[in-house]
Amino acid sequence: MCSGLIDSLFLLLLYFSIHHSASLSTYLNISMHSVNMKHILKWSQLQTACSTFNHTVQFQGEYELHKLNGSWVDAYDCQEIRENRCDLTHDLASNSDYSIRIKTNCDGQKSWTQLPKTFNRKDTVLLTPEMIVNVEGDPIQVGFNTTLSAITVKLKVWTEGDEQNALTDMTRAYPYHFSIAAHRGKEKMCFRAEALVDAINKSCSTDTQCVIMHKQTSDMPVIVSVAVVIALAVAFILGWSVTRFSPQIKHIICHREPIPSALLNNCPARAPNLFTVSSEPTEPLLVLVPTLVQMETNER
């Protein structure tokens, strides 16, 4: 009788402890966030009040399941940790379906929470690399901005409208950079790249970028016209300043190398007309230079 009661009491206690463990585990909302082959396990904060607690992450691949009698492996960086994330990038290193679980130790009481589904790194989300095409120089430079590593990048280059005759180039070497001879002309050159993650045989492609390849000499008129605009602006400001602050300007401008007397003699002296000439504000550029020469010759 008595032993039967003790037995039931024991079973009840066992039930409660199991139930308690189970309820403890339900508060960890585990999820895997795998982007560009970086596998981060995350879970929610522990809801149960524990004076001391920590988590240990374990995994079991097909190898452990079938060859190691279903044993579990401790994740290298995630033993007795208090954080609620674990980087499993280096642990889940094969294309296997992994079961993942967390052992939570709350004041000496252990509980287990398992990721609802197995995880395979082939399910990682690949983000499209950013393709940077620089056509300023020759050869053209094509680079990529991506956090993916150990990839093969295949670059396709073609003249717009002629994709069937595209040229392809390939690199496996970080930082995945290409130098391409430019075909400068009226047509656009188009670029598209495919990044293949070799380990999982999964790839993603960039958008197509088509660029007009200006002839490099065509940059000259732009530079020249910019120079002309700057010269006009400077001349205008100078002309304006001369009318407003002529005594000071005269002093500054006249501080130069002395002009050889031979030159001076060749220049017929004219009446000083700085004010009259420069007071014509519409064409300061045309009149400023002769005025200054006159001014100088006149001083001597």
Name the residues that contact ligand NAG, by CB under 6 A. Answer: 29, 31, 44, 52-54, 68-69, 80, 105, 107-108, 145, 201
Distance of closest approach, residue 144 Cβ to ligand NAG, in angstroms: 9
| Type and span of the H or E element at 101 | strand 99-106
DSSP-based three-state secondary structure for 63:
helix
How many other β-carbons are positioned within 10 Å of the β-carbon of residue 221?
9
CA separation, residue 151 to residues 87, 89, 93, 225, 264 (Å): 21, 16, 15, 46, 75
Closest distance to ligand NAG from the beta carbon of 5 (Å): 33
By C-beta, is 128 or 225 nearer to ligand NAG? 128
CB of 205 to ligand NAG, least distance (A): 12
Q: Which is nearer to ligand NAG, 196 or 277 (CB)?
A: 196
The CA-CA-CA angle for residues 210, 211, 217, to 5°, reads 160
Q: Are 59 and 72 in contact (CB under 8 A)?
A: yes
Helix (H, G, I), strand (E, B) or coil at 117: coil
| Residue whose C-alpha is closest to residue 100's, from 87, 85, 113 | 113
User: Nearest approach, Cβ of 287 to ligand NAG (angstroms)?
Assistant: 51
CB of 120 to ligand NAG, least distance (A): 14
Q: 206 and 131 in contact (C-beta within 8 Å)?
A: yes
CB of 73 or CB of 267, closer to ligand NAG? 73
For ligand NAG, the closer CB: 109 or 246: 109
Terminal CA-to-CA distance of the chain, rounded, Å?
A: 135
Which CB atom, from 153 or from 295, has the smaller least distance to ligand NAG?
A: 153
